[in-house]
Amino acid sequence: MNISNLSRRDLMKWGVASTLGAPLASAFAQASKGPITLVVPFAAGGATDVVSRLVAQKLTERIGRSVIVENVAGGGGAIGAAKVAKATADGSVLLMGTVATHAINPLSTPPAPYDAQRDFTPISLVATVPNVLLVSKSFKAKDVRELVALLKAEPGKFSYGSSGVGTPPHLSGELFKSMTGVDIGHVPYKGGGPAMTDLVGGHIPILFDVLTGAASHIRAGSVRALAVTTSKRSPSFPDIPTLAEAGVPGYETYTWNAVFGPAKLPAAFVESTSREMQAVVAQPDVQAKLKELSAAPVGSTPEVLATLVKTELDKWGAVIKSIGGLKRD
């Protein structure tokens, strides 16, 4: 399913961002008392943490029950996700999941610490975030077609950087390689910051990064953005084409944030929480903040999120298999 291609009418038909009315507190009252813990499976300060704290504050205001963010970092998100998978299914512990927790890690970390579909209850997709293909200012390829032609003319000469093995930017690069047939090496970094530093300094020629982290460098003109990885252009950078537009038809990847609970959450709680999440994401100030982070607000039903997880597992499973699996340091 192509989330980014859904129109407002489509989203309304699926029940996305459709509940704008008064809070529905009954299911929350029936669930266990006390605060709800929203586990963020990454360190404080990153994009997922920022989104989670915004959502937690707004959800608290709607349901009259405290939603507290807890950062449980490690294992590329697997440790925090595993904690939620093992939690009591009473609505007191939820997870802000990502493509890393629900596709990449389960497919690349043997033995998998959890089953991305069986061990969680989907609640709502909050937002999607494009990745972006960047080159250094001095690199001679000015667009994607020139880049592909150069890489094919000089196979094996160039490398691209990413924020690390198994990250969405890394696999975005591998999908680019497989769809264009280019021979290009991978230089993994321990985070997007060091990788961007080397791109700005001209130490690497090409970088796949999350648009949120790259935005300030693009605006400053210290790097050149050739294309975003989503199927539609980012409203934050409407002049940057998509990879599909720029010469790689059918290409699409993105990072996303979505709320999950443990398996077997009560249906009434899931329905009410999803509707409240859709209402939170629909609030104008939340929309503005997400767009400021170069994220596309969604707010979805559980069914939409469940379909997305299956689609992501199918897509990234094929990519990871094509490169012989992932070897992490």
pLDDT tens-place string over residues 282-319: 999 999 999 888 888 999 999 999 999 999 999 889 88
105: nearest Cα among 161, 152, 164: 164
**Least confident window among 28-32, 165-169, 211-215:** 28-32
- Asked if 108 and 144 sit in the same domain, the reply is no
The domain total for the chain is 2
Largest CA distance in the chain: 64
Are residues 121 and 264 both part of a single domain?
A: yes
Q: Would 329 be classed as within a structural domain? A: no
Final residue belonging to a domain, choices 201, 222, 246: 246
Residue 327 lies in a domain: no
Q: Higher pLDDT residue, 183 or 20?
A: 183
- Within this chain, do residues 123 and 138 fall inside the same structural domain, yes or no? no
Domain residues for the domain of 119 are 3-129+256-322
The per-residue pLDDT for range 221-257, each reduced to its tens digit, is 999 999 999 999 998 899 999 999 999 999 999 889 9
Report pLDDT for 108. Answer: 84
Residue 151: other Cβ atoms inside 10 A: 22
Summarize the chain as % helix, strand, coil (round to 5): 45, 20, 35
Choose the final residue of a domain: 246, 270, 292: 246
Residue 93 — φ and ψ, nearest 5°? Answer: -135, 125
Pair (125, 261) in one structural domain? yes
For residues 45 and 307, which has the higher predicted lDDT (pLDDT)? 307
My answer on whether 123 and 40 are in the same domain is: yes
Tell whether 109 and 139 lie within a shared domain.
Answer: no
How does strand 159-162 pair with strand 296-297?
A: unpaired
Contacts 24+ apart (CB under 8 A), 231-239: 231/2, 231/4, 231/5, 232/4, 232/5, 234/130, 234/294, 234/296, 235/291, 235/296, 236/211, 236/291, 236/294, 237/211, 237/294
pLDDT of 24 > 50? The answer is no
Which carries the bigger pLDDT value, residue 136 or residue 254? 136
Beta partners for residue 296, in sequence order: 128
Q: What pLDDT score does 261 carry? A: 98
Q: Please report the sign of the dihedral spanned by the C-alpha atoms of residue 253, residue 321, residue 262, residue 70.
A: negative
First to last CA, the chain: 33
**Which of 13-27, 34-48, 129-143 has the weakest average pLDDT?**
13-27
pLDDT score at 116: 97
Shared-domain flag, residues 146 and 83: no
**Which of 32 and 58 is assigned the larger pLDDT?**
58
When mean pLDDT is compared across 62-71, 161-170, 206-215, the lowest value belongs to: 161-170
Q: With bands split at pLDDT 50, 70 and 90, how would you rate the model's confidence at 112?
A: confident
Q: In the structure, what pLDDT confidence band is assigned to residue 77 with cuts at 50, 70 and 90? A: confident
| 15-40 average pLDDT score | 60
What's the pLDDT score for residue 328? Answer: 59
C-alpha 83/C-alpha 101 separation (Å) is 12
Last residue of a domain, one of 246, 278, 296: 246
Predicted local distance difference test score (pLDDT) of residue 192: 82
171 or 24, which is more confident: 171
Domain assignment of residue 190, yes or no: yes
Same domain, 176 and 210: yes
Question: Is residue 18 within 8 Å of residue 277, measured between CB atoms?
Answer: no
Residues 137 and 105 in one domain: no
- What pLDDT is attached to residue 22? 43
pLDDT band, very low/low/confident/very high, at 269 (cuts 50, 70, 90) = very high
The dihedrals phi and psi of 23, each to the nearest 5 degrees, come to -55, 145
Q: What is the CATH number of the domain that holds 167?
A: 3.40.190.10
Separation of alpha carbons 299 and 260, rounded Å = 13
* Pairwise pLDDT comparison (43 vs 152), residue with the higher score: 152
Q: Is residue 251 domain-resident?
A: no
Is it the case that residue 55 has pLDDT exceeding 90? yes
Mean of per-residue pLDDT scores for the chain = 88
Domain containing residue 291: CATH number: 3.40.190.150
Pair 125, 25 in one domain? yes
Q: Are residues 198 and 232 in the same domain?
A: yes
